């Protein structure tokens, strides 16, 4: 009798774990199903290549796509070199001392700083103190600092996968530390670094809170002509279209279309990262042997 | 690959080569230290911009006044309590949903799922993590809101409950993947010992594996909590943003993050109100900082136990 009871507990126990997994899966399915089925109807060539028209009730989202693209480039220019440099320091040079632990603690804490706080920081540093104004540059720099912890962590993971023997081989042949890193570590680590970086950038491209006050604009019919001009961005456009527009129900299809384009863009970036990693790794191995 | 030879050594080039190496190392050192500078910079700029607010507003007033009304006609009040209570409420609400669901999913992935299921499920969790918060907030308005409105009889469904559910969605990937890491790190010998003593698989999961991974799971939940309390767009879009003191999960709330997001766009720069918003940001920064620090300590205890 006792055995049977514990079997019943076991059955329902494991069943409840399965239910948890199914619920999480359902959340994902519902999100994608809703956005795709309701967004696909509005997305057309015109939607992707035209600016908004008639008080943003018609037309497309072209300036928002371009704006997000420009900002992401600035983000990359700041976050990629800094992140890779920091990762190289941590993995190749740093000794296990107080400074290193302090740097690691700072990285973990930076990754936990709320995005809106990065927004405040961006306003006071880039917009006001450095006089970038509300611009692509200010927003890109803010997002660049925000993605830095991700870039560092991903780059360090990539460096860790390179075997110790590669470094030792170069050092044994009389190469200096930097020469061994440059010729025997980086070529194998760069694919992984790039993958992680692209994932970080895709996160930045979907962020709204940090760009609210650092440069995103409600409506600009033209494409920005300088990095010091304001810009439209896809996530911000979605926010506007779903909460701030004067006729929210009328523009709901445009909001769905924007959400779909944003999600597709982010997953295209992720997919590109995975494909890139696959190809570069294949090349790396044939080069290595 | 250049080789080390005596000529170079004698001609003094070896020294310059060493200097060059030193220079390169210092360059990367600076790169590493920049991270500390950024964290310190965020803190300093928040303090610098928050302090002027307290020239006009009493510090005690900030923490005890039960009303946040910067636009009051006679005497503006800057009490943080309503939004602090709102933030804590939606965050705790989200944890009630996300912790059991997240830990349950993690236990499923580490102890029940076949390798094939795991291969599909793990990237799926990452996909969930990649969905922008503004998209989740949008779905809170168009999808969850109407459902909750029908179920609870509130107009539009933009309530603390809605925000909590969305925050749970945002916190889930963190909780799942870190808890799963903690569960997978439990040595196999624990599990084998438990099974050898005649415990069932379920007893092993509940009484051996989860307790052994407890501090890792706790750290994961705390990081999820940090993520939830700092989330802006989802709560901004889905909770209705009523500035009153929160009444309950079926009422509308305005969190600390939403307050900053809404009011920084309307406020004149370098007024008391502007500086007050930085004070709110500073408090938010400190809360998440403490949460991260504590989860860090908990996690290190966890790895020590493992070792």
pLDDT-derived band at A10, boundaries 50, 70, 90: confident
* Nearest-CB residue to A31 (from B105, B121, B139): B139
Residues 6+ apart with CB under 8 A from A41: A253
- pLDDT at residue A258 is higher than 80: yes
* B68 touches A: beta carbon within 8 Å: no
Within 8 A of A124 by CB-CB distance, chain B residues are 45-46, 48-49, 278
* Nearest-CB residue to A86 (from B35, B39, B100): B35
pLDDT-derived band at A54, boundaries 50, 70, 90: confident
Distance CA B135, CA B234 (A): 8
Specify whether the CB–CB gap between A117 and B42 falls below 8 A: yes
Tens digits of residue pLDDT in A89-128 = 999 999 989 999 999 999 999 999 999 999 999 999 999 9
Cβ distance of B132 and A116 shorter than 8 Å: no
- pLDDT at residue B225 is higher than 70: yes
Tens digits of residue pLDDT in A129-175 = 999 999 999 999 999 999 999 999 999 999 998 999 999 999 999 88
- Residue A185: CATH number of its domain: 1.10.3720.10
Question: What does the pLDDT read at residue B303?
Answer: 62
3-state secondary structure of A203: helix
In A123-172, alpha helices (H): 136-160, 164-172
Distance CA A277, CA A157 (A): 13
Neighbours of B146 (CB within 10 A): 12
Question: What does the pLDDT read at residue A196?
Answer: 85
pLDDT-derived band at A288, boundaries 50, 70, 90: very low
Distance CA A184, CA A176 (A): 11
Cβ distance of B138 and A152 shorter than 8 Å: no
Cβ distance of B260 and A116 shorter than 8 Å: yes
Main-chain dihedrals φ then ψ at residue B271, nearest 5 degrees: -95, 170
**Residue A113 in tokens:** 């700083």
Question: What does the pLDDT read at residue A7?
Answer: 85
Cβ distance of B130 and A267 shorter than 8 Å: yes
Residue A19 falls inside a structural domain? no
> Which chain A residue lies closest to B47 (C-alpha atoms)?
A121
Distance CA B210, CA B198 (A): 18
Most A-contacting residue of B24, B42, B110, B134 (CB-CB within 10 A), to test interface: B134
Tens digits of residue pLDDT in B256-295 = 999 999 999 889 999 999 999 999 999 999 999 999 989 8
Closest-CA distance, A225 to chain B, in angstroms, reads 24
Query: What's chain B's average pLDDT?
Result: 89
3-state secondary structure of B163: helix
Radius of gyration of chain B (CA): 25
Question: What does the pLDDT read at residue B6?
Answer: 53
Cβ distance of B101 and A24 shorter than 8 Å: yes
Whether CATH 3.40.50.300 fits B68-306: no
- pLDDT at residue B2 is higher than 80: no
Strand duo B68-69 + B77-78: pairing: antiparallel
Most B-contacting residue of A109, A150, A203, A249 (CB-CB within 10 A), to test interface: A109
Nearest to A197 by CA among A83, A73, A74: A83
Q: Is the dihedral of CA B250, B252, B258, B261 positive or negative?
A: positive
* B306 touches A: beta carbon within 8 Å: no
* A27 touches B: beta carbon within 8 Å: yes
Residue A38 falls inside a structural domain? no
**Residue B204 in tokens:** 């092993």
Query: What's chain A's average pLDDT?
Result: 90
Place of tokens 């303090």: B47
Residue A12 falls inside a structural domain? no
Q: Is the dihedral of CA B165, B171, B177, B178 positive or negative?
A: negative
Across the A:B interface, residue pairs with CB atoms under 8 Å apart total 267
Within 8 A of B257 by CB-CB distance, chain A residues are 114, 116, 209
- pLDDT at residue A286 is higher than 50: no
A positions 143-172 inside 8 Å of B (CB): 145, 148, 152, 170
Most B-contacting residue of A89, A153, A235 (CB-CB within 10 A), to test interface: A89
3-state secondary structure of B175: helix
Question: What does the pLDDT read at residue B1?
Answer: 43
Within 8 A of B201 by CB-CB distance, chain A residues are 10, 14
B positions 83-142 inside 8 Å of A (CB): 100-102, 104-105, 107-109, 111-113, 121, 124-125, 127-128, 130-139, 141-142
Residue A33 falls inside a structural domain? no
> Which chain B residue lies closest to A257 (C-alpha atoms)?
B135
Question: What does the pLDDT read at residue B11?
Answer: 53
Left if phi > 0, otherwise alpha if psi is -120 to 50, otherwise beta: which for B253?
Answer: beta
pLDDT-derived band at A81, boundaries 50, 70, 90: very high
Crossing angle of the two packed helices B81-107 and B272-306, in degrees rounded to 10: 30
Residues 6+ apart with CB under 8 A from A175: A183, A184, B1, B2
What ipTM does this complex have? 0.91
B positions 150-179 inside 8 Å of A (CB): 169, 172, 176
Distance CA B142, CA A47 (A): 21
The answer to which of A264-278, B1-15, B68-82, B122-136 has the lowest mean pLDDT is B1-15
Residue A7 falls inside a structural domain? no
Within 8 A of B141 by CB-CB distance, chain A residues are 242-243
Residue A36 falls inside a structural domain? no
Cβ distance of B135 and A31 shorter than 8 Å: yes
Tens digits of residue pLDDT in B90-106 = 999 999 999 999 999 99
pLDDT-derived band at A289, boundaries 50, 70, 90: very low
Cβ distance of B21 and A178 shorter than 8 Å: yes
Per the structure, the count of domains in chain A is 1
Distance CA B109, CA A21 (A): 8
The answer to which of A94-98, B9-13, B50-54, B158-162 has the lowest mean pLDDT is B9-13
Residue A35 falls inside a structural domain? no
Domain residues for the domain of A143 are 45-288
> Domain coordinates of chain B in residue numbers?
6-50, 68-306
The three-point CA angle B1-B4-B5 to 5° equals 125
Within 8 A of A94 by CB-CB distance, chain B residues are 32
Closest-CA distance, B45 to chain A, in angstroms, reads 7
**Residue A94 in tokens:** 């740093």
């Amino acid at each position: 009798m006792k055995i049977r009871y514990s079997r019943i507990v076991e059955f329902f126990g494991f069943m409840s774990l399965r239910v948890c997994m199914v619920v999480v899966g359902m959340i994902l399915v519902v999100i994608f199903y809703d956005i795709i089925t309701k967004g696909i109807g509005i997305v057309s060539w015109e939607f992707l290549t035209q600016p908004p028209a008639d008080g943003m009730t018609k037309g497309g989202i072209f300036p928002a796509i371009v704006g997000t693209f420009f900002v992401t480039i600035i983000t990359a220019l700041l976050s990629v070199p800094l992140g890779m440099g920091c990762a190289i320091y941590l993995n190749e040079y740093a000794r296990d001392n107080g400074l290193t632990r302090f740097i690691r603690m700072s990285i973990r804490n930076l990754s936990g700083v709320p995005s809106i706080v990065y927004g405040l920081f961006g306003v006071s540093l880039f917009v006001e103190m450095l006089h970038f104004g509300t611009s692509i540059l200010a927003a890109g720099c803010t997002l660049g600092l925000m993605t830095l912890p991700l870039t560092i962590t991903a780059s360090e993971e990539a460096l860790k996968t390179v075997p110790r023997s590669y470094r030792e081989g170069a050092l044994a042949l009389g190469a200096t530390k930097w020469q061994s890193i440059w010729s025997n570590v980086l070529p194998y680590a760069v694919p992984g670094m790039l993958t992680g970086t692209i994932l970080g950038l895709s996160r930045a491209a979907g962020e709204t809170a940090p760009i609210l006050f650092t440069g995103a604009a409600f409506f600009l019919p033209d494409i920005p002509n300088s990095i010091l001009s304001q810009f439209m961005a896809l996530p911000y456009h979605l926010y506007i279209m779903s909460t701030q527009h004067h006729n929210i129900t009328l523009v709901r299809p445009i909001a769905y279309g924007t959400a779909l384009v944003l999600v597709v863009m982010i997953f295209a970036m992720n997919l590109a990262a995975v494909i890139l990693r696959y190809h570069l790794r294949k090349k790396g191995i044939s080069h290595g042997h | 690959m250049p080789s080390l030879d005596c000529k170079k050594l004698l001609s003094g080039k070896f020294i310059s080569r060493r200097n060059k190496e030193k220079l390169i190392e210092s360059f990367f050192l600076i790169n590493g230290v920049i991270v500390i500078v950024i964290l310190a910079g965020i803190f300093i700029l928040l303090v610098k911009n928050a302090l002027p607010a307290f020239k006009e507003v009493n510090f005690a007033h900030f923490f005890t006044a039960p009303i946040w009304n910067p636009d009051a006609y006679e005497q503006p009040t800057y009490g943080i309590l309503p939004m602090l209570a709102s933030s804590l409420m939606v965050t705790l609400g989200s944890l009630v949903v996300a912790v059991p669901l997240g830990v349950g999913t993690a236990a499923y992935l580490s102890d029940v799922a076949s390798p094939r299921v795991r291969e599909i499920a793990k990237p799926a969790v990452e996909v969930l993590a990649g969905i922008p918060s503004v998209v989740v907030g949008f779905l809170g308005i168009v999808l969850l809101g109407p459902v909750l409105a029908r179920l609870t009889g509130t107009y539009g469904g933009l309530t603390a409950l809605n925000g909590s559910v969305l925050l749970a969605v945002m916190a889930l990937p963190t909780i799942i993947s870190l808890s799963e890491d903690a569960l997978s790190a439990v040595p196999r010998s624990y599990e084998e010992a438990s099974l050898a003593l005649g415990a069932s698989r379920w007893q092993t999961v509940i009484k051996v594996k989860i307790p052994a991974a407890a501090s890792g799971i706790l750290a994961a939940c705390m990081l999820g909590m940090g993520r939830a309390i700092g989330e802006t767009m989802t709560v901004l879009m889905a909770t209705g943003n009523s500035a009153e003191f929160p009444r309950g999960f079926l009422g509308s709330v305005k969190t600390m993050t939403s307050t900053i997001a809404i009011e920084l766009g309307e406020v004149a720069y370098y007024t008391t109100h502007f500086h007050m918003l930085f004070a709110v940001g500073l408090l938010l920064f400190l809360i998440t900082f403490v949460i991260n620090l504590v989860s860090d300590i908990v996690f290190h205890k966890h790895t020590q136990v493992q070792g």
